[in-house]
Structure 1
Amino acid sequence: MILATSDRLILRHFQDDDLVALFEMNREPQILTYIPSALFQQLGDAEKVLNEVIYADYERYGYGRWAVELKASGEVIGFCGPKYLADFDKVELGYRYFPQYWRQGIGFEAASAALPLFKTLCDVDEAIALIMLGNQASAALAHKLGMQISARSQFQGHDVDVFHTWL
């Protein structure tokens, strides 16, 4: 299901055909430098996340992470979108992209299309972004989106800045 589009991108629900892309974006050490999760070792790792996290969030909350697809090629190049974080009782804007798409404005373009949907699809008036200390690129993107640091906290054993915005 397509949720939003921008000049270059389509934001949509993940689907079974995205399994390889999900696997690849979670097995590359460079991508996971500031992500508190283990590298995927096999395709089954991605299948488990797709079924037990992403699809489960769609079913439970009506929303979850969204695939980011290039309009020109149909290629999935990352994800962007909401996730309910029980530890914070807030909806987080999360994003991750393959390195060849970094520094091209993709993150800002996708997040700018995603954030306005949070109010209606997630029924919230605010959003957060958890950014591990040292992740200057993600922090710069959050600032560019108008988010401000509201706290420093811990998430999955790592120090994070909690960025916040009203919608």
Structure 2
Amino acid sequence: MMMIVCQTPRLVIRRFSHQDAEFIVKLLNEPSFIENITDKGVRSVADAIEYLNAGPIMSYKTHGFGLYAVELIENNMLIGMCGLLKRPELTLPDIGYAYLPAFWRKGYAKEAVNAVLEYAQQQLKIDKIAAVTSLNNISSIGLLESIGFKQLKTMQLYENEPKCRYFELLSKI
């Protein structure tokens, strides 16, 4: 059963399921995903199911939120992911998103981020949300700043990975 988290005029934001495994393989192997986020090592449908089980699906059970599938309403096409993560390295939940390059610069990321933030604040009662980006991900930095996120510092989130920018958004409530 498909669980819709929120909708916008153009997008359905829903929980991931195993049926999304082929899309996950495609998205996580995009050069832009590997460059700006990380190489998750997901190379097959079996890897993608493992990623979904250990990542988004586990997060839904553990935290009540996670990364969600983002689909176009007009044709049910999966175009990316957007949602909340709860990393042990950060005290606050953080917003995360990634889209296939064909869907960049069309306003979908901002639309989905705003919808997920509204859901987080109104339904989940989360009053502070963080975000992290790679140092040189200019598009993502611009998106976060346009919504009201403020960069507070640069930090090393994970050992053996480059530093990243750390942002916070205070509640809009």
Same fold (TM over 0.5): yes
Q: How many residues align?
A: 167
Q: Give the TM-score of the pair, scaled to structure 1.
A: 0.95
CA contact (8 A) 1:13 1:67 kept: yes
Q: Deviations over 1:87-137 (max 9, x none)?
A: 012101000000000011111011111101112444421101100100000
Residue matched to 1:164: 168
CA contact (8 A) 2:84 2:93 kept: yes
| 1:115-130 superposed matches below 5 A | 115-130=117-132
SS in 1 for 2:55: helix
Residue matched to 2:104: 102
Query: 140-149 vs 120-129, which deviates more?
Result: 120-129
CA distance in 2, matches of 1:121, 1:98: 28
CA distance in 2, matches of 1:122, 1:49: 24
Shift of 1:85: 1.4
Residue matched to 1:71: 73
Q: Deviations over 1:61-101 (max 9, x none)?
A: 11111110100110111100111111012101000000000
> What residue identity is the alignment partner of 2:164?
V
Q: Give the TM-score of the pair, scaled to structure 2.
A: 0.91
- Between Structure 1 and Structure 2, which shows a larger proportion of strand residues? 1
Report % sequence identity: 27
Query: 155-164 vs 97-106, which deviates more?
Result: 155-164
Residues 120/84 of structure 1: CA separation in 2 closer, same or farther (3 Å cut): farther
CA contact (8 A) 1:62 1:121 kept: no
> What residue identity is the alignment partner of 1:58?
Y
**Cα RMSD (Å):** 1.3
CA distance in 2, matches of 1:121, 1:44: 33
Residue matched to 2:84: 82
Q: Where do 5+ consecutive residues of structure 2 fail to align?
A: none
Residue matched to 2:115: 113
Residues 112/54 of structure 1: CA separation in 2 closer, same or farther (3 Å cut): same
CA distance in 2, matches of 1:88, 1:159: 14
Shift of 1:39: 4.3
> What residue identity is the alignment partner of 1:60?
T
